[in-house]
Amino acid sequence: MPHKIIEKEELSGANKRFRIEAPLVAMSAKPGQFVIIRIDESGERIPLTIADSDEKTITLVFQEVGATTIRMGKMKAGDSLEDLVGPLGRPSEIENFGTVVCVAGGVGIAPMHPIAKALKSAGNKVISIIGARSKNLLFWEDKIRSVSGETIVMTDDGSHGRKGVVTILLKELLDKGGIDRVIAIGPPIMMKFCAATTLPYKVKTIVSLNPIMVDGTGMCGACRCLVGGKTKFACVDGPDFDAHQVDYDLLMARLKMYQEKEKQAMDASGNVPKKA
């Protein structure tokens, strides 16, 4: 069933935001869950995390990285996505843990927002670290601040906030002590290094994995990951997992499965990805 785009916003760089009419999904969506969308009859199914929701709409943030997301980026308010299914996946674990550090990189800032918000509501002290390569790729700093006790911004090139990668700051916080839990969402390499950073401190760390998906309901295993040596389907067993148990190298290798085909699709569409 088609779902109408109510609002479109260019956030930064190649990141765009849609607010979409989806009353059934909005009604039951919980932080950490995602949807699968299909643009039109010839489209593929891609997963996107629910970044916000109200009674009737959900918000999705996507980065233009390939044929489908570039095609989505050309859609306007008033257009409709042919299919949108969800909410999918297990919701993030939300409790009063004490002090939680939320580390979000790049487009991962969007899915972190509802989690940080829920953690704060549950009584946690939330410290957010948001990072990007450069200032012009950052978005939602205000939104993250509004749901965090403390927010630190970092850029690789130092064009905004502190200069450097997020793990530097994460380590500083861990050294000070008093951190009860860390949540990291972003590119796999960032999540891998966050996990490696927290491991010696024995602080429970959660990551939200982003493997290739097709149906998103557990019927195919395209999204399988190794967690604690066991094969898990991220769409039904996750997407959140214990960061210290995840095989990131496998995740990154599997994400490259269709590299050539993705390039072929892009060439066929005549689109060129923006430099993100």
Partner 1 sequence: MASKTKTPIPEQDAHARAKNFDEVALGYTEEQAVQEASRCIQCKTRPCAEGCPVGVLIPEFIKLIKERKFAEAAAKMKERISLTAVCGRVCPQEEQCEKVCTLRKLGDPVGIGRLERFIADWERAHGVRIPVPPKPNGRSAAIVGAGPAGLTCAGELAKIGYKVTIFESLHKPGGVLVYGIPEFRLPKAIVAAEVDYVRKLGVEIKTDVVVGRTITVDEILKNYDAVFLGTGAGLPQFMNIPGENLNGVYSANEFLTRVNLMKAYKFPEYDTPVNAGKRVVVIGGGNVAMDSARCALRLGAESTIVYRRSEEEMPARKEETHHAKEEGVKFELLAAPVQILGESGRVRGLECIRMKLGEQDTSGRRRPVPIPESNFTIECDAVIVAIGQTPNPLIPQTTPGLSIEPKHGTIIVNEALLTSRERIWAGGDATTGAATVISAMGAGRNAAREIDKFLRG
- 274 part of the interface to partner 1, by CB under 8 A: no
Peptide bond into 114 cis (omega under 30): no
- 87 part of the interface to partner 1, by CB under 8 A: yes
- Tell me the closest approach of the beta carbon of residue 81 to partner 1, in angstroms: 10
What whole-number distance in Å separates Cα of residue 219 and Cα of residue 197? Answer: 35
- Tell me the closest approach of the beta carbon of residue 67 to partner 1, in angstroms: 6
Q: What is the torsional sign of CA 73, 233, 236, 251?
A: negative
Binding mask 50-69 for partner 1 (x = CB under 8 A): -----------------xx-
Among 226, 244, 245, 276, binds partner 1 (CB under 8 A): 226
Residues that bind partner 1 (rule: CB under 8 A) add up to a total of 42
DSSP characters for 103-136?
A: EEEGGGHHHHHHHHHHHHHTT-EEEEEEEESSGG
Among 172, 228, 242, 261, binds partner 1 (CB under 8 A): 261
- 220 part of the interface to partner 1, by CB under 8 A: yes
- Tell me the closest approach of the beta carbon of residue 97 to partner 1, in angstroms: 25
Query: By the 8 A CB rule, do 167 and 184 touch?
Result: no
Query: By the 8 A CB rule, do 250 and 225 touch?
Result: yes
Binding mask 6-45 for partner 1 (x = CB under 8 A): ------------------xx--x---------x---xxxx
With contacts defined by CB under 8 A, name the span among 123-131, 174-182, 195-203, 260-268 that binds partner 1: 260-268
Strand partners, 84: 37
Among 65, 168, 236, 276, binds partner 1 (CB under 8 A): 236
- 264 part of the interface to partner 1, by CB under 8 A: yes
Closest CA to 32 of 55, 50, 45, 56: 50
Closest CB to partner 1 among residues 8, 45: 45
Assigned token pair, 66: 């390939």
- Tell me the closest approach of the beta carbon of residue 253 to partner 1, in angstroms: 4
Closest CB to partner 1 among residues 45, 244: 45
- Tell me the closest approach of the beta carbon of residue 44 to partner 1, in angstroms: 4
- 93 part of the interface to partner 1, by CB under 8 A: no
- Tell me the closest approach of the beta carbon of residue 153 to partner 1, in angstroms: 34
Give CA separation, 179 vs 86, 98, 124, 126, 144, in Å: 33, 8, 11, 10, 19
User: Helix/strand/coil (H, E, C) string of 174-195?
Assistant: HHHCCCCEEEEECCHHHHHHHH
Query: By the 8 A CB rule, do 102 and 115 touch?
Result: yes
167-194 burial code (b ≥16 CB/10 A, e <16): bebbeebbeeeebebbbbbbebebbbbb
Applying CB under 8 A, the residues found at the interface with partner 1 are: 1, 24-25, 28, 38, 42-45, 67-68, 82-88, 214-215, 217-222, 224, 226, 231, 236, 250, 253-254, 256-258, 261-262, 264-265, 268-269
